[in-house]
Structure 1
């Protein structure tokens, strides 16, 4: 079962929507699904639906709500892709992290789910790293996060498990940046990095031209095993 719910921001002065997919029985844990630059679109909702099929309560907050509520863009349509890039430039990432924490709080306090993790893609992959460093997520996964080398100073704040999926031919993350990520994080006791040789940004999207089936399935299998280990 899926629905859209309202979550109150942490200062209590406004609220934002989140797509919620519920399992058929009692959730074994909750997972916050952090959007790409394309909003809570069909692909992100499908991520939630799959997690619900696996027994998790899945919640995808509308992080762009301060710019425009309910944005849903298609990365395979050029004008929509360019619109997404514009939104990303205007997006307040610090406010987004506060909204992710509010979503985690909602899962625990309103839904009554004790263990809450997070998984993010693209922009959400970067926010996943920030979530691991700045929130009380119990376990976090990031796919093809951009600019994580700029955030390595926050690595000491990562207290719970974090997994990062890194395509080696990511058009938004060059080889130098990937090397810095490995140099900074390979010896971190709570962080696990996986490289995907020859693959580009967005390879694990649910639909569209970017998806690479075998690699997406492998990354998602690793993610599923990671959450089963740290959330159950």
Structure 2
């Protein structure tokens, strides 16, 4: 079951969010953090999938501070708009909005809560683990993570990278692993950037399946 709701950040800003509820009692809470294309149909489907696994899932619209209800495709003018919105995103404010989402799922479930994010969301999931209070965090192809690799996570973290990702140099993920050997870092040899996104040319079903299996096991271990 899905719905939309409003979240209130600490600074009083109100943002939208997509909520996916499990069929029965939630086993924990999960915040799905968007790519640069907003809380579009793909991100909603990711949220729906983890709700089917038993989590109460919320996907906060972190672009709402720049433009409300952003849902972009992966081509044409939408791609340019996505990058423009990314440049307008202030990380501290985005993290405030993610904290509001964590607070929401914890209040709703009374249980642990974690984050999982993709691309920009992967970076924000990492920063959630270093600066906020999730019980676990997962990041897929976290863009720019090397710039923040020296920050120390306060919760268990799992990261996924594609070896063929031209957007994220391999040394960024390797830097994280070198500085934080406790972080679980997985590489997928035949995978490109956005290999989990099941629309578009970079989708790699084998890598996506394995990464999701690992992520689900990790989240269940740390959130239930």
Superposed pair shares fold, TM > 0.5: yes
In the alignment, the residues of structure 1 paired with residue 23 and residue 109 of structure 2 have an alpha-carbon distance, to the nearest angstrom, of 16
Partner of 1:106: 104
TM-score of the superposition, structure 2-length normalised?
A: 0.96
Whether the aligned pair in 1 keeps the contact of 2:28 and 2:109 (CA below 8 Å) is: no
Q: Structure 1 residue 84 and structure 2 residue 79: aligned?
A: no
Q: Does 2:184 match 1:192?
A: yes
Following superposition, the deviation at residue 176 of structure 1 comes to: 3.4
In the other structure, the counterpart of 2:21 is 22
Whether the aligned pair in 2 keeps the contact of 1:122 and 1:143 (CA below 8 Å) is yes
Q: Structure 1 runs of 4+ off > 4 angstroms?
A: none
RMSD over aligned CA atoms reads 1.2
Cα distance in 2 for residues equivalent to 1:25 and 1:176: 42
* Cα distance between partner residues in 2 of 1:175 and 1:167: 9
Aligned counterparts of 1:178 and 1:218: Cα–Cα separation in 2: 18
Q: What secondary structure is seen at the aligned counterpart in 1 of 2:161?
A: strand
Q: 1:206 aligns with which of 195, 198, 201?
A: 198
Aligned-partner Cα distance in 1 for 2:202–2:73: 11
Deviation, 1:149, is 1.1
Deviation at 1:202, TM superposition (A): 0.1
Greater shift, 81-90 or 138-147, is seen at 81-90
Partner Cα separation in structure 2 for residue 223 and residue 178 of structure 1: 17
Report if aligned partners of 2:164, 2:193 keep a CA contact under 8 Å in 1: yes
Structure 2 vs 1, CA of residues 170 and 213 (structure 1 numbering), >3 Å: closer, same or farther? Answer: same
Which residues of 2 match residues 51-62 of structure 1 at below 5 A?
A: 51-62=50-61
Count, aligned residues: 224
TM-score scaled to structure 1, two decimals? Answer: 0.93
Q: Does the CA-based 8 Å contact 2:159-2:185 persist in structure 1? A: yes
- Following the alignment from structure 2 to structure 1, what is the Cα–Cα distance between the partners of residues 47 and 109? 18
Q: Is the 8 A contact 2:141 2:162 kept in 1?
A: yes
- 5+ residue gaps, structure 2, are none
Q: Quote how far apart the aligned CAs of 1:165 are.
A: 0.2
| Aligned ranges 1:143-162 → 2 under 5 Å | 143-155=140-152, 158-162=153-157
Aligned to 2:161: 166
Matched residues in 2 for 1:216 and 1:19: separation?
Answer: 22
Aligned to 2:2: 2
Q: Which runs of 5+ in 1 are unaligned?
A: none
Distance 1:116 1:164 in 2: 17
Deviations 1:87-145 (A, max 9, x none): 11111111101110111011112x13311011000000110110110111001100000
